[in-house]
């Protein structure tokens, strides 16, 4: 991305020679560090099925390509077979636990360093910003 000198509403940012009107972001792992919450919700769901908990750093390496892939990776990491019914139940319970954390004092999600400043800077430059997750 490039911009003319200065910043503010009168300055147009460009990407590959075209003016930008908006910048879209993913939320988890891009704007917010949610790995701790993801691990907590996942481990609660795994525990309900008698599966071992996974360390946050192990879960962090499994994040990417969506929650269904995360749950498949976590089940494989535990070394216990998972049929389709078990997978569907594990995924549903993960979503339940994650949704509960969003409204809980246990929530640990925080913006990554510099994320808020970057969003404010883009907004100040007159660009629309949105989260698409």
Please check whether the domain covering 35-108 is classified as CATH 1.10.150.240.
yes
The two beta strands, 18-19 and 2-3, are unpaired
pLDDT-derived band at 10, boundaries 50, 70, 90: low
Tokens (6 digits) for 91: 């995924």
Q: Would you name the residues annotated as active-site residues?
A: 26
CB contact set of 128 (below 8 Å; sequence gap of 6+)? 21, 22, 23
What gap in Å lies between CA 100 and CA 132, rounded to an integer? 21
Instruction: Summarize pLDDT for 66-123 with one digit per residue, the tens.
Output: 999 999 999 999 888 899 999 999 999 999 999 999 999 999 999 999 999 999 999 9
Secondary structure (3-state) at 54:
coil
Contact indicator for 48, 96 with CB cutoff of 8 Å:
no
Sequence ranges of the domains in the chain: 2-30+111-131, 35-108
User: What is the pTM (predicted TM-score) of this model?
Assistant: 0.81
Tokens (6 digits) for 75: 């089940």
């Amino acid at each position: 991305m490039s911009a003319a000198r200065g910043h503010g509403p009168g300055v147009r940012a460009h990407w590959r020679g075209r003016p930008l009107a908006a910048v879209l972001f993913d939320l988890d792992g891009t704007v917010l560090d949610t790995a701790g919450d993801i691990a907590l919700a996942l481990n609660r769901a795994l525990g309900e099925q008698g599966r071992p908990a996974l360390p946050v750093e192990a879960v962090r390496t499994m994040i990417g390509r969506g929650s269904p892939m995360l749950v498949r990776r976590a089940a494989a990491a535990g070394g216990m077979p998972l049929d389709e019914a078990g997978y569907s139940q594990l995924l549903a319970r993960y979503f339940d636990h994650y949704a509960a954390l969003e409204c809980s004092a246990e929530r640990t999600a925080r913006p990554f360093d510099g994320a808020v400043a970057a969003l404010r800077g883009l907004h100040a430059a007159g660009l629309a910003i949105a989260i698409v997750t």
